[in-house]
Amino acid sequence: GQNIDQPTEMTATEGAIVQINCTYQTSGFNGLFWYQQHAGEAPTFLSYNVLDGLEEKGRFSSFLSRSKGYSYLLLKELQMKDSASYLCAVSDGNAGNMLTFGGGTRLMVKP
Amino acid sequence: DAGVIQSPRHEVTEMGQEVTLRCKPISGHDYLFWYRQTMMRGLELLIYFNNNVPIDDSGMPEDRFSAKMPNASFSTLKIQPSEPRDSAVYFCASSLAGVDDTQYFGPGTRLTVL
């Protein structure tokens, strides 16, 4: 089985930087995804990490440390539209690579 | 491509009734997933198909739930009989190359069972 932990809620200010952490425990790690979900909408893909290190994509970056079972999503130059839930999902190679989603972190961006 | 299409977008029914949710995946995607999302349990995988064949249904909560994929462009999730605790948003998603490939989600069906 898997255990994925994320903070439930975070608040940040427009223009600032915020880091959303995700820790996981899995016996057969095979990759980690971050999805963004606005209220009332479907999740949309943000990033994928399978090797250690930082993946940068515009204002968003995602970091992975497999030895620590840890990832974070970094959002720079926050905009009001970044207010959403951010879901961490882990692929388990011992479960047919199926994804298990964390509970999500609800980010509120204030002016 | 129009993306993943789901219908209906909203469904309100009474306990005991049969509910059928429908999904059209992105053309060319070989994998289709059904998820359920609630405040209490988050996003849960119910079942997924590869090339129209059900591969893992371990997430299906009970025998009241069933899913089919008669062809590459259509899938259904059926609940019979429905219960109030089935109230949730049901998402269908598809991916091109595998369960660990980027999944594209449909808009979801918000189900309310009274």
Q: Which residues of chain A have pLDDT under 70?
A: 1-2
Contacting residues of A for B102, CB less than 8 Å apart: 33, 45, 48
A96 in B contact zone (CB under 8 Å): yes
Q: Which of residues 22-51 of B touch A (CB under 8 A)?
A: 42-45, 48
pLDDT of residue A21: 98
pLDDT of residue A98: 81
Residue of B nearest to A48 (CA): B102
pLDDT of residue A94: 81
Contact at 8 Å (CB) between B100 and B113? no
pLDDT of residue A97: 78
pLDDT band at B110 (very low <50, low <70, confident <90, very high): very high
CA dist., res. B57 & res. B30, Å (int) = 17
CA dist., res. A90 & res. A48, Å (int) = 10
Q: How many CA atoms lie within 13 A of A59 on its CB side?
A: 11
The answer, yes or no, to whether the previous bond of B81 is cis (omega within 30 of 0) is: yes
Task: Write phi, then psi, for A94 (nearest 5 degrees).
Answer: -90, 0
> What is the percent of chain B where pLDDT is above 90?
84
pLDDT of residue A99: 85
Contact at 8 Å (CB) between A55 and A74? no
Contacting residues of A for B99, CB less than 8 Å apart: 91, 96-99
User: pLDDT tens digits for B44-93?
Assistant: 999 999 999 999 898 898 899 999 999 999 999 999 999 999 999 999 99
Instruction: Classify each residue of A97-108 as buried b or exposed e, where b means 16 or more C-beta atoms within 10 Å of its C-beta.
Output: ebbbbbbbbbbe
Furthest C-alpha separation in chain A: 44
